Chain A
């Protein structure tokens, strides 16, 4: 600490400087604690690590007994996930091997197990459905949520607390309670197994979270900013657009992430309310179990591909994570 005034803090203070916490014993305890946390993290991440490893194994390696630790990595899982294939008879296979140079990498991977690609799998379409449904429903719910959150935060509303509780409570309903009537309703209006139906549903479910989360963030923007702008001749809408929205940017980002995660991972509704046209990826990963033996590497590849975007976003927004899981109930 001696040269603190000259150099400033060189690195963040990561340990306590309290008098009773700098003794060797306390230092040792600190290190043991850190080691325990890392150990916990490693144990917790073993399954994720195995998932990554499995995604790069061949079909034979996946079911090797005992499990193989060292293996030749392959993209077979990913190729199997994304394509439909047929097994080639040996003659045709040998013939095809001649023209190995002209094949693209996917074909070559498939050929390693004696198959040829006949087209993209259903999974590609379902993944695309997931992207559309999760994307659009997130955009709408964040937009509507922002409007409602602003109104709840700034204007007097009769029975505000009750309304807010009502909005939150819609998310606590078990999926199965609302699915049956929704199923009937959707069938009546022709929304069953449509993109629009799923988008509406996910929007409604994310909206409750969006309102709560964004209200928390907007509450923290001082009212005086807008009032100053109003005095300067902005209309209420201009003040909302040019002052509130930029100030709430992190809140909007965090809300977006949580909405995407929900819509991206959702399974129960998708299973019960879609069948073919609008089915999303999670229920279709599950049905992959059925066809021609279980393709574990494809399942692992699908899970991994599903996980990566979420993890990246989590890392970027980890500071705001807490608000999301508590519906904004906690100020940080």
Chain B
């Protein structure tokens, strides 16, 4: 790298203005980085430590009392509450279902769009539209789609009589309760919205596979099944893992979509952790301390899962 001192020595033939005192590279570097780091520390790091502290207190944001240290009581309360385990369970189911469906569908879709055809660029971009929407708006709009009497979904599926049709978001079918239907309905929308994202990542992986691998396999008369498992899948794996990682993190903290569609209902069938956290922290209860503890538990889960993925990813890259 040329230091600016050297630049000064070489006579400034093309300098338009009279030479000002120049900043050294180090000054510039520090000036350039400082605002970003300061902002991130103020908006992310400080809150993070603050909420760690709050998670060990019984603080309530609307009470006019100073926080009192209660040790690990909040954590114990959460981890011994069977209802919380049920919410964790719901979140886990939601994550597992959405991510696996998105991976299968996204992969299939990417395999289909891999080879160009007339108009494939436009079609691919059109497929991406759902993920550009605001999740809460998507949730609200699908609430309309799912409506048992005037919603389009039942109509498109051929249910004309509302009394025998499924009422998706109320978890009932023909007036009988079918637990899990609402969760499935939310999962369906999440899959609709985010499959394009997985497709986009897998597609870029597919396009990066050199053609000669397939050509060599074709010359050796390898079956397309063999080609798929021995060439396509291993080559795409790193990008697929990134897609899975991002989707898993997003699914674990999913809030907007569920809030827009069901608000956790009916009962607490779709009460995922993020929704419950919002309820604990802001609605009615205002248990800031306990909510902070729950937030930390979620954070630890997310960090643990990300770490697992990243390790596996690195192994994939090396191996």
Contact = CB atoms under 8 A, between A and B. Distances in A.
Interface of A: 12, 14-16, 18, 20, 30-31, 33-34, 36-38, 40-41, 44-48, 50-51, 54, 62-67, 144-145, 147-148, 150-152, 154-155, 157, 163, 166-167, 170, 172-185, 187, 200-201, 203-205, 207-208, 211, 223, 227, 230-237, 240, 261, 264-265, 267-268, 271-272, 282-283, 285-286, 289, 296, 299-300, 302-303, 306-307, 310-311, 314-315, 318, 321-322, 325-326, 329-330, 332
Interface in B63-120: 109, 112-113, 115-118, 120
Contacts of A325: 197, 200-201, 246
B129 A48 contact: yes
Nearest to A178: B47
Given A180-B288, A311-B129, A321-B128, A174 B47 contact: no
B99 to A, nearest CB: 16
A252 to B, nearest CB: 15
Contacts of B152: 50, 67
B134 A282 contact: yes
B270 interface: no
B135 A38 contact: no
6 contacts: A144-B36, A173-B44, A207-B39, A237-B23, A303-B133, A329-B242
Say whether chain A's binding surface is mostly helix, strand, loop, or mixed: helix
Contacts, number: 303
B136 A283 contact: yes
B299 A33 contact: no
Given A152-B33, A181-B51, A233-B14, A170 B40 contact: yes
Given A33-B112, A40-B112, A267-B134, A178 B44 contact: yes
Contacts of A207: 36, 39-40
Contacts of B298: 174, 176-177
- Residue from B36, B37, B256, B299 whose CB has the most chain A CB atoms within 10 Å: B36
Given A67-B150, A230-B7, 11 more contacts: A37-B123, A50-B152, A65-B149, A170-B40, A174-B295, A180-B54, A181-B46, A183-B281, A230-B2, A235-B20, A306-B134
A231 B10 contact: yes
Nearest to B275: A176
Nearest to B24: A236
A41 B192 CA distance: 11
A299 B292 CA distance: 33
Nearest to B43: A204
Interface in B201-216: 201, 204, 215
Contacts of A44: 127, 129-130, 192, 195-196
A267 B136 contact: yes
A177 B7 contact: no
B260 interface: yes
A303 B135 CA distance: 10
B35 to A, nearest CB: 5
Interface stretch (B137-145, B166-174, B178-186, B228-236): B137-145
B237 interface: no
Given A38-B123, A268-B256, A330-B239, A176 B278 contact: yes
- Residue from B2, B113, B274 whose CB has the most chain A CB atoms within 10 Å: B2
Contact of A184 (B26, B252, B288, B299): B288
User: 4 nearest interchain CB pairs?
Assistant: A233-B12, A204-B43, A174-B253, A265-B134
B145 A14 contact: no
Interface string B21-47: 011011011011101110110111111
Contacts of A30: 115, 117
Contacts of A63: 149-150
B295 A180 contact: yes
Contact of A181 (B48, B141, B149): B48
A289 B136 CA distance: 12
B64 to A, nearest CB: 12
Contact of A179 (B33, B192, B242, B281): B281
A294 to B, nearest CB: 8
Interface in B270-304: 274, 277-278, 281-282, 288, 291-292, 295-296, 298-299, 302
A300 B278 contact: no
A1 to B, nearest CB: 18
B218 interface: yes
A174 B51 contact: no
B39 A204 contact: yes
A285 B39 CA distance: 30
B281 A157 contact: no
A180 B291 contact: yes
Contacts of B6: 230
Contacts of B132: 261, 307, 310-311, 314
B281 to A, nearest CB: 5
A271 B278 CA distance: 10
B33 A151 contact: yes
